[in-house]
Homo-oligomer: A and B are copies of this chain.
Amino acid sequence: MTVVSNTVDRLHTLLDDEKYDEINPLLADCHPAEIAHILESLPIKQRRIVWSSTALEQGDILSHLNDAVRTELMQTMHPTEVAAATEEMEADDAADLLQDLPGQVIEEVLLAMDEQHRWRLAQVLFYPEDTAGGLMNTDTLTIRADVTLDVVLRYLRLHAELPERTDTLMVVDRDNYYQGVLLITDLLTHDPELEVQQLLLSKIEPIPAHLSTHEVARLFEQRDLVSAPVIDEEGLLLGRITVDDVVDVIRAEADHTIMSSAGLDEEDDMFAPALTTTRHRAIWLGINLLTAFLAAWVIGLFEATLEQIVALAVLMPVVASMGGIAGSQTLTVVIRGMALGKVTDSNTPWLLRRELFVSIINGVLWALVVAGIAILWFGDIQLGIVIGCAIVVNLLFAAFSGTLIPLLLKRLSIDPALAGGVILTTVTDVVGFAAFLGLATLFLL
């Protein structure tokens, strides 16, 4: 946002001029989410200075920060400060924040809380972060089905404040078993003498607490929900999930796919110090170095051929690169289809056939182009035929691997977004070099 980037630029000026006492007035009008965003956009040294100038609303700001930045800033806080900061937060945000702390510190923070707050948090902490239970809030208003709307209206008026994003009231029986929801809007537009059960929407399926956040997000997207009830295995109402947390899940999933294709962690601090960044990236370079040397080893097998026809060395990256590009197109389509739940057992054969067909047509098309260029460049028709055939072979392998690698990885519970690209490139490099240099050895020597 322009407003935020202006503020960031002005902050930088203040920081450069060491006018630290002007920082707080500058941020006073900002929303906590904007301050979080500004903190994430600053290198560590400046970030700490700004953080120490924003004594107010620290809890709100923390709940909007990404994991890496939050953990870093919380290291400077005392457990009682952390406990105080979580007091005003929604239970799921507070749980999310606590889960980043070392086990011992979590205990200290929990002990520093009052009992009600601790109990509210414990329910959410019980469920893993990536399930409906870890995403829910426990601030749910419940009503009974056998009362009239008028009773509900009077009850709400006594209740002073409703939780944020309340679009429904949860209807439970006397044992707290979930029965359905009453829309707030129905409450407003219907005759107060009606009973809740006459307007009860029991069609709204409750979300089981163990459902993955991925499935929760798909449900919210498909049904256009604002909030949904969460129940345990017995059917007891535990809490509710609101759309703002689902938006964060969707954003995080998308970021994960984008970042992990480059071996990066979406929760990393973009402005982490150089040494931290170096360490995180080194591993990925190492893994890719292994695959690069595997490709080099394949080329090495044909040293004798390369010594005789140097044109092969000039053209071989073209074969590998075409395979890599075609394969990554297939891979991207399949990984996204899997994430959206569109790839099923019954349509995989169709998809594989389609990808193979596409690769044959595109393979033959571009093989002719490449062969033509090679013949014109090196005046060698046989070389042209060899490179053309190698490209067709490599594109076929690319389509095959691009479709099957992600499905196989998923079956092995390995993240296709992280490992798919590396494995695919290894295949297209190795097959590309082997096919081109192998065919050349057979037919050109």
User: A residues bordering B, Cβ < 8 Å?
Assistant: 1, 4-5, 8-9, 12-13, 31, 33-34, 37, 40-43, 64, 153, 156-157, 159-162, 164-167, 184-185, 187-191, 215, 218-226, 243-244, 246-248, 250-251, 253-255, 257-259, 261-264, 270-271, 273-275, 277-278, 281-282, 284-286, 288-289, 291-293, 295-296, 299-300, 303, 306-307, 310-318, 320-322, 325-326, 328-329, 331-333, 336-337, 340-347, 350-351, 354, 357-358, 361-362, 365-366, 369-370, 373, 377, 429, 433
A184 contacts B189, CB within 8 Å? no
Contact of A157 among B188, B248, B277 (CB under 8 A): B188
A40 contacts B342, CB within 8 Å? yes
A223 contacts B33, CB within 8 Å? yes
Additional A-B contacts beyond A5-B345, A286-B369 (14; CB < 8 A): A5-B344, A13-B346, A43-B350, A64-B222, A162-B189, A254-B255, A255-B336, A258-B261, A264-B332, A270-B337, A274-B361, A289-B322, A293-B318, A310-B313
A5 to B295 Cα, complex, angstroms? 39
A255 to B189 Cα, complex, angstroms? 39
B299 contacts A317, CB within 8 Å? yes
Nearest Cβ in chain B — how far from A64, in angstroms? 7
Q: Take A188-B156, A325-B285 as given contacts and tell me if A350 and B296 are in contact as well, using a CB distance cutoff of 8 Å.
A: no
A61 to B53 Cα, complex, angstroms? 52
A269 to B238 Cα, complex, angstroms? 39
Interchain Cβ contacts under 8 Å between A and B, 12 examples:
A5-B344, A5-B345, A37-B341, A41-B342, A43-B350, A225-B244, A250-B254, A258-B336, A262-B328, A270-B342, A277-B358, A295-B318
B215 contacts A1, CB within 8 Å? yes
B336 contacts A259, CB within 8 Å? yes
A322 contacts B288, CB within 8 Å? yes
Scoring A261, A270, A316 by chain B CB atoms within 10 A of each residue's CB, the highest score goes to A270
A247 contacts B258, CB within 8 Å? no
Contact of A162 among B188, B317, B325, B331 (CB under 8 A): B188
- Give chain B residues whose Cβ lies under 8 Å from the Cβ of A246: 247
Closest 3 CB pairs of A and B: A254-B254, A33-B222, A313-B313
B281 contacts A358, CB within 8 Å? yes
A295 contacts B317, CB within 8 Å? yes
A293 contacts B373, CB within 8 Å? yes
- Give chain B residues whose Cβ lies under 8 Å from the Cβ of A255: 254, 336
A328 to B444 Cα, complex, angstroms? 37
B322 contacts A12, CB within 8 Å? no
B292 contacts A318, CB within 8 Å? yes
B366 contacts A285, CB within 8 Å? yes
Nearest Cβ in chain B — how far from A10, in angstroms? 9
- Give chain B residues whose Cβ lies under 8 Å from the Cβ of A223: 31, 33
A347 contacts B264, CB within 8 Å? no
- Give chain B residues whose Cβ lies under 8 Å from the Cβ of A159: 189
Nearest Cβ in chain B — how far from A168, in angstroms? 11
- Give chain B residues whose Cβ lies under 8 Å from the Cβ of A162: 185, 188-189
A247 contacts B226, CB within 8 Å? no
- Give chain B residues whose Cβ lies under 8 Å from the Cβ of A354: 43, 271, 273-274, 277
A361 to B326 Cα, complex, angstroms? 33
B341 contacts A4, CB within 8 Å? yes
- Give chain B residues whose Cβ lies under 8 Å from the Cβ of A273: 354
- Give chain B residues whose Cβ lies under 8 Å from the Cβ of A259: 332, 336
A398 to B83 Cα, complex, angstroms? 44
A299 contacts B277, CB within 8 Å? no
Q: Take A189-B157, A296-B318 as given contacts and tell me if A362 and B285 are in contact as well, using a CB distance cutoff of 8 Å.
A: yes
- Chain B residue nearest to A275 in the complex (CB): B361
- Chain B residue nearest to A303 in the complex (CB): B310
A357 to B279 Cα, complex, angstroms? 12
A329 contacts B264, CB within 8 Å? yes
- Give chain B residues whose Cβ lies under 8 Å from the Cβ of A369: 286, 289
B221 contacts A347, CB within 8 Å? no
- Chain B residue nearest to A373 in the complex (CB): B293
A299 to B220 Cα, complex, angstroms? 53
- Chain B residue nearest to A64 in the complex (CB): B222
A292 contacts B317, CB within 8 Å? yes
